[in-house]
Amino acid sequence: MSRENKKPIIILSTLLVFVTVMLVLVFISYIGFLREHLVHDEVTYINELALQSTNSIRNRVIAESNVVKYAANIIDPNNKDSALEYLNEICEQYEFGYMGFADMNGIGYFTAGDEKDCKHDLFFTHSASGADYISDPFRTDEFPNAICILYSSPVTDADGNVLGVVFAVSPNALYTGILNSSIPGDSETIYLATSAGEILASSAENISGITDITDICPDDSVNMQILKNNVAVLNSGFSLVGARNEKQYIFYAPLVSSYQSTDEASIPGASSDVEWALLLSVPYKIIYSKINYILGYTICVCTALFLLFVALAALSLSTQRESRRKLEHLAYHDPVTKGRNFNKFKIDAERLLAKSKHKNYAIITLDVNRFKYINDLYGYDEGTRILKNIYSITDASSAHGSELVCRMGNDKFVFLFVYTDKPTLEERIEELCYDISAKNEYNFVFSVGIYEISDRKMSVDSMIDRAMIALKSVKNTHQTAYAFYDEKIRNEILRERSIENDMHDSLRNGEFEIFYQPKYFIDNATLAGAEALVRWNHHEHGFMPPCDFIPLFEKSDFIIKLDHYVFEQTCKNMRRWLEQGKQLVTISINFSRVHLNTPNCLDYYEKYIKKYAIPPKYIEFEFTESAIFENSSTLIKILDRIHSMGCTVSMDDFGTGYSSLNMLKEVPVDVLKLDKEFFSDSSDSKRAKDIVETVVQLAKKLNIHVVAEGVEEQEQLEFLHNINCDVAQGYYFSKPIPTSEFEKLLVQSA
């Protein structure tokens, strides 16, 4: 073949070689990128598992510590048998290894029946001084296959004096149990260490010789020392350590910081000098084996058949895209509703607001009130089904592509709605709430907060915060309610925060004063009793109306402390009146519905009745009708105990909307208090009077006394007298008066 004929072949060969070399270079570059990306994803995923594991352990420790605190608040240290019996029930219910309590002499009484001198034990010295205590993880011969934690909490009286110590040991091997469920393979090892680097426990069966973090990989002392230093300052992250053929990734994250820390990782009560950290050791080959196999196989096939290389490259790209799609699905989809999650909502909301500048938008937050009762009564599967339905209903109601909805957590939802004006937005929200209830066949009550977006430069988080502020202003109502965010609501939130900041100090400083509103027998206008009420004489604002602070207190446990304070002060007063020779009358005490969430809630009341030797017949517990309606099964047990104490029970606000003949049949009340709305001007009609007369007659047949509230006029009193109502209470006779003035009434009525 002539040189001229060979020339095109040489050129083509050269071109093919050049193209082949370029393709190989491109392929090698792509393989390097793909390998780096897959390794990064895998390492990030395992790092997230390590962080999730720390949360699981932390939550478990906090939960078990709270159980011990709760037990310390409940037991009576003066009754050893009763205390041990109760602790044994707690021990079995929460799977503690054993529990017990120690008296102030340091003698420990165990649920197993043993006794031991504990006065030199670290947990006793901490808790006997009034502090909660959580030990470092340890192993013991009593539970050889478990990693144990010891918890303790002081038992105190009402004045805060320490009477003893409750303690419990948890041997549930919780680190191995919780962590192994998150480990992706069998070759990984989890270590629990102190911030000083001491190894406390491991998921491996044998860790002989590994007592310090640096012992995990002694061949790489430099990097291990760096890792140990990071653990010491409670950093989180990961390091690649070890020799060339024995490399491993070690992921680390703080588990517990000292109880003095304000870090999110802290566990209140943990020993103050020691922090814990979680370390997850994953062999280098575990992460790279799958990746290297895929890449090696791809390279071998591509060197044999170029076309197959192209196909495998396309398949690899497709696999990567699918992996990204799945990761995106996990990152942006809610596991409960299977729809958009909160992070995706905020991203999409920013995009929509930037794109649709000429549309009016509003952020709406919606909370399903008392949704936990659905989970309690019907199970979490039913609760999940309902949340899915709510999402599908609200998602379907949104205009396609221009509105958003997501579940932001628990039973709360957030929306981004287009609207034209406020009335149409209100109408749409009302229809939405109605559709949710109707299609789920439950009579839900919703709280809704609305923020009309006026400043689009504001972050979406800030917009949602404002809608949440509006929602909180209507939370805990008994019917669906909504509110628009405005400066009035903002100022109201600031006012509530001010009240919350002052209430505890005010209680300690005696700013809450006891008032009594007298009740009178209608037939002879003599003193029949009184209702104990509380007034706040604020050090700056003077007397505050109860409506300004009682609803806020009912949102927290402070109402329990206030109720206890009112009751104890009333018992003290009644004891003084008895000693002064005054004739007692029945005093009714308001019993907040919040008490119903506390087991043995009557122990406190029974304690002070006995302490001040008050004849129980002069104590009347007053429940609102709505509380009885919502918790009837629980309440009946409580009412039976009240009667066994020798006290009486009244139902307040009877006729506010929940009343039923069945309630009167099932609930053992002694007194009905007719709601004052029956006697308002708007209710001054024959129909209203007929209802009141019928209720009074029915109560008489059931041997229930009737008290009419809100009596202000002579005409109302005459009507009540004519229908044989027993007792009246209202401004016609007296407004609520201070204790000193009520004492004068007792003298006059004697």
Q: Which residues are catalytic?
A: 709
Alpha-helical (H) ranges within 205-273 are: 221-232
| Residues 396, 392: Cα–Cα separation, whole Å | 6
What is the three-class DSSP state of 202?
Answer: strand
Token pair, residue 615, equals 């004849």
In this structure, are residues 677 and 655 in contact, taking their beta carbons and an 8 Å threshold?
A: yes
- For residue 68, CA distances in Å to 63, 165, 649 come to 9, 10, 33
Residue written as tokens 């009419």? 708
- φ, ψ of residue 577 to 5 degrees: the values are -65, -40
- For residue 566, CA distances in Å to 512, 602, 746 come to 9, 14, 19
In this structure, are residues 371 and 411 in contact, taking their beta carbons and an 8 Å threshold?
A: yes
| Residues 75, 84: Cα–Cα separation, whole Å | 9
Cβ count within 10 A of residue 624: 19
Positive or negative: CA dihedral 190, 193, 198, 202: negative
Which segments within 206-292 are labelled E, that is strand? 237-241, 248-256, 276-283
Report the candidate in 132, 4, 2, 18 with the shortest Cα–Cα distance to residue 64: 132
- φ, ψ of residue 319 to 5 degrees: the values are -65, -40
| Residues 679, 692: Cα–Cα separation, whole Å | 9
**Proportion of the chain in helix, strand, coil states, percent, rounded to 5:** 50, 20, 30
DSSP conformation letters of 327-363: HHHHHHB-TTTSSB-HHHHHHHHHHHHHH-TTS-EEE
Report the candidate in 190, 194, 146 with the shortest Cα–Cα distance to residue 50: 190
Type of residue numbered 657: G
Which segments within 606-731 are labelled E, that is strand? 619-624, 648-654, 671-674, 705-708, 727-728
Token pair, residue 627, equals 């509380």
